[in-house]
Structure 1
Amino acid sequence: MVMWVFGYGSLIWKAGFNYDERLVGFIKGYRRVFYQGSTDHRGTIDYPGRTVTLIPADGEVCWGAAYKISKKEDKETAFTEPNASTPAISGVMVYIASPDKKLNKNYLGPASLEDIANQIVNAEGPSGPNRDYLFQLEKALVQSGCKDKHVIDLANEVRRILLERENTGS
């Protein structure tokens, strides 16, 4: 039996589990957003970091990596070519954070680019600074040949804030 897991955040550069095959690709109809709070890895309960989840978005795609492991689940499909009408693999399991605060107490939801960037600059948890998560995601996407405007814009805003702080000494 085979199961594919699609990673669109830290799984792109750090799977953290054994897998048989890795395939760079995308899922259709979703957009990656920094709406999920992290109180255990990239932030704390008092100051959560922000990590990615997906929201439905007609006509958009979210690039990431699919990992082949043992077990079958019929979920989403993943593609590798932008104009493909047939998925490269089917039965892909994808984690999407629930926006329901009763089910997901760490869901932070939408905010302005500046607010998200400031939160990422200031958050740090047991796995390190939240900005490292963002920069590693940006690097992994670039290395895979994937462009994500939200990630690029956010990383540039975080760099701008860090440079401003460095120049003002605060």
Structure 2
Amino acid sequence: MFTTRQLRQMRLTARHVAYLQPDEVLEGLPAPPEGMRAAAPEDHVATIASLFGEEAHDETWVFAYGSLIWKPACEHVEIRTGTLHGRHRAFCLGWNRQHRGSETTPGLMLALDRGGSCKGALYRLPPDRRDENLIKLFEREMGWLPSAFPPRMVNVRSGERTIRALTFCIDRNSGRYVSGLTEEAIADVLARAVGTRGSMAEYLHATVEHLEQLGIHDAHLWRLQKLVAERIEAAYEAGR
């Protein structure tokens, strides 16, 4: 579907990512933080009902803007690119102290915030297995409740089509919303944070790499990957 193109050369590489590895990789979901609870299957069924009701679901789309691009949580039968207007991709979901951060080096995750626009990937779910795949998606993205980035339906422009898709947007009132950081401050976080599932540098590298493969150039993330690479080099390669 996507044509082969000459990709830009990223400054942030696998060499940089290799410096920031967890002592042990854990895939399971740890105990929820205070004030949250682990989601149950019936929670996800209720979410599906609230989002879709009784409407037909020959086409159910998910709009991916971050890690879902390079690590989809569920099956899909079609993928295409699209643009969401009124939301932009931002490192505004904090602070991650387990999966890709720790108490001493907390991480910042991507979410969709208000304003601007965002180019990303659209995944169409198998119509005959929609609900089971939505539950897989929610188990990954909403393992704890209440969610700081709840699902919502948005309109995404893809070619001549406007596609109604599910995505995840930051809840600015959740207590996990982070704003006002400069790119340099964000890069400081991303160059240091490591958790049980890997580092923020790995997360950034994979996201930028896969966006570029889709023909999507995010200028903000491109600047960040350069800044993060420079910080890792200064910390691990200075004096060599």
Query: CA offset at residue 142 of structure 1?
Result: 0.6
Query: CA offset at residue 78 of structure 1?
Result: 1.5
User: TM-score, normalising length from structure 2?
Assistant: 0.60
Matched, 1:94 2:158: no
Q: For the residues of structure 2 that align with 1:53 and 1:164, how far apart are their CA atoms?
A: 28
Query: CA offset at residue 93 of structure 1?
Result: 1.0
One-letter code aligned to 1:166: Y
Aligned to 1:155, the other structure's residue is in SS state helix
Matched, 1:14 2:71: yes
Greater helix share, structure number? 2
Matched, 1:122 2:122: no
Q: 1:47 aligns with which of 105, 112, 126?
A: 105
Aligned length: 160
CA 1:112 to 1:23, structure 2 compared with 1: closer, same or farther past 3 Å? same
Gaps of 5+ in 1: none
Q: 1:79 aligns with which of 148, 157, 171?
A: 157
Contact 1:28–1:62, Cα closer than 8 Å, also in 2: yes
User: TM-score, normalising length from structure 1?
Assistant: 0.83
Match of 2:62 in 1: 5
Q: 1:30 aligns with which of 87, 91, 99?
A: 87
Q: For the residues of structure 2 that align with 1:141 and 1:26, how far apart are their CA atoms?
A: 13
Larger radius of gyration: 2
Aligned to 1:30, the other structure's residue is in SS state strand
Q: For the residues of structure 2 that align with 1:120 and 1:7, how far apart are their CA atoms?
A: 21
Gaps of 5+ in 2: 1-56, 135-150
Identity %: 28
Greater strand share, structure number? 1
